[in-house]
Structure 1
Amino acid sequence: MFDPTIYENLKVVFEGAVYDLDLDGQIVVVHRSDLIDLASMSRSYLIRFRMKDGRSWAELRLSAELLDMAGEKLEWRNVLPGCRLELVFGLTLRNPVTACKNIQDIMEQIWGRDTTIIQTLSFRYGDDGSRCHNEIGVIFERKIGESQVADIPDLLEHAVATLRQLEPYNMEE
């Protein structure tokens, strides 16, 4: 009998929880990807969603490396298997200097001051820089496993709350 890995179990739970929110009409799933990298023998899954009438998006990224999967399957005692989780939010800003400070405050209020929040700004060459794309990463420093499954609804609730708070800053046309 096939025994799924931590990665596969978490992926199924995340995907089901996100699609339940989509079915309830709270969000709209706009992209999904499930990849196996044969060069590094790693797995990655992402699912992107936005509010029904929103333009800002959230992307949940789950990944597992070869060492995690091999350690789990071969039951190595010196390897703590698990997955990496990252949430990324995206929106287009005008006046990024002011907006980014406000966004940082929102992110810290929702996710806590101990969570690593990284804002990455980009704009097209030739533009004046007054309008730019902001990708906001919420980085979880530790691996997650099946013992965190009960936290997934709260995590997604925080993601939806974050989208609601970020939407007024989105100036995409």
Structure 2
Amino acid sequence: MFDPTIYENLKVVFEGAVYDLDLDGHIVVTHRSDLIDLATMSRTYAVRYRLKDGRCTAEVRLSAGLVDLAGEKLEWRNALPGCKLEIVFALTLRNPEAACRNIDDIMRQVWDANPSIVQTLSYRYGEDGACCRNEIVVAFDRKIGEGQIDDIAELLEHTVRTLRLLEPYNTEE
């Protein structure tokens, strides 16, 4: 009998919860990927969405590597299998210096001090840099497992709240 892994169980719960928000009209799912990297024997699931009338995006990324799979399936004594979780927000900014300070305050207000929050700015060569893309990665410092399944709905509520707060900063046409 097939026994699903921690990664597979979390992926199914995340996917169901995100698509429930889509069906309820709170968000629109814009992209989904479910990848297996045969070179590293790692798996990554990502689902990207935005508010119904929004342009900022949030992407939930769940990943697990070979050590997590082997430790779980082979029941290694000292194994701590689980999944890495990241949430990536993306938007286009004008006046990034001021906007990024405000965005940092927003992110810390919503997400507290638990995850690390990193903003990365980019723009096209030849443009003046006044308008740039901001990618905000919210990374959790520990693996998650099936014990956190009940927290998924609240985590997704945080992403929707964050999208609402970031939307006024988005200048993408």
| Bin for the TM-score computed over the shorter chain | over 0.9
Q: Counterpart of 2:58 in 1: which secondary structure?
A: strand
Shift of 1:38: 0.2
2:65 is aligned to 65
CA distance in 1, matches of 2:114, 2:5: 29
1:143 is aligned to 143
Q: Counterpart of 1:105 in 2: which secondary structure?
A: helix
Q: Once the two structures are aligned, what percentage of the paired residues are identical?
A: 73
2:113 is aligned to 113
Q: How does 1:77-116 map to 2 (within 5 A)?
A: 77-116=77-116
TM-score normalised to the size of structure 1? 0.99
For 1:153, the aligned partner's letter is A
CA distance in 1, matches of 2:77, 2:110: 36
Q: Counterpart of 2:54 in 1: which secondary structure?
A: coil
List runs of 5+ in structure 2 lacking aligned partners: none
CA distance in 1, matches of 2:129, 2:122: 8
List runs of 5+ in structure 1 lacking aligned partners: none
Shift of 1:166: 0.2
CA distance in 2, matches of 1:138, 1:43: 19
Confirm or deny: 8 A CA contact 1:93 1:133 kept in the other structure.
yes
State the aligned residue count: 173
Shift of 1:136: 0.2
RMSD: 0.5
For 2:15, the aligned partner's letter is E
TM-score normalised to the size of structure 2? 0.99
Deviation by residue 1:94-117 (Cα, 9 ceiling, x = unmatched) = 000000000000000000034210
